[in-house]
Structure 1
Amino acid sequence: NSAIVETWSSDGGATWSAMAKTALPNSSAGIDAVTLADGRHLLVYNHTVRGGPFPSSREVLNAAVSPDGRRWQAALVLAQEKGAEFSYPAVIQTRDGKVHITYTWKRLRIKHVVLDPAALVLRDMEGGAWPREGKTE
């Protein structure tokens, strides 16, 4: 699949809508998300498609934030390197409000990143494209 898919429930999970593609690309890689204490949603994923121009596949790992789970804004690039792989993210928010993200770093180790979600600078993704600025490493 070339996009993250979504399904919605309005009855506490008893029934679900049909799955539908979102505007967010996916390279057939794992994703993870958390609903933050302030009600927003934070998604960690590879904002790429398989076989596309750099960055492609899993050469970049991104975090995006949404107020409603439908409209997403770019938050930051966690990792990016040509020929590398950043994959299998996991994300939680702890009682102190910090967000902890772990992911496979270059298939060599697990990296742990701690974020303050209140400090994230959000940017619109014009036409679904990730903004150029905002890289952290």
Structure 2
Amino acid sequence: MRTTKDRIRHTLGFEIIGLLIFAPLASLLFDHQLFDMGLMAVVGSLIATFWNYAYNLLFDHAMVLLRGDVRKTTPIRVCHALLFEGGLLLLFMPMIAWYLGISLWEAFVMDIAMASFYLVYAFVYNLAYDRVFPIPLSAREQAAGQG
């Protein structure tokens, strides 16, 4: 298991590096000011954080009501992920359109581009992080012994 300090380093690194890459790239791609794209990324991150908490709480309560259990099968996990992303899109898209003064369609395209960027970025970042800051062998052994 990773330590709390390591998890904080991971999270802060993810957010800061992601912002430093995404904002200039989005500014060039969508022809909006760098500040505006940076602000969209920061607000998107905050919205995703709060939505993550609320959504998972609601989803778990729904699972208990409907199934009497919170354990997820693979199809439920797929549904969980799709509903999370759809809800995030509905929460964030109108704000993008309003702030940038663009149509909902343009905001939808921008939101999909942002989600796509962060999907790829998360994969690459986590792969690199695990190589730069590997989990200590003793922690791997402890985790394996608990399974």
TM-score by length of 2: 0.25
Structure exhibiting the larger radius of gyration computed from Cα positions: 2
Structure with higher RCO (Cα < 8 A, 6+ apart): 2
Higher share in helix: 2
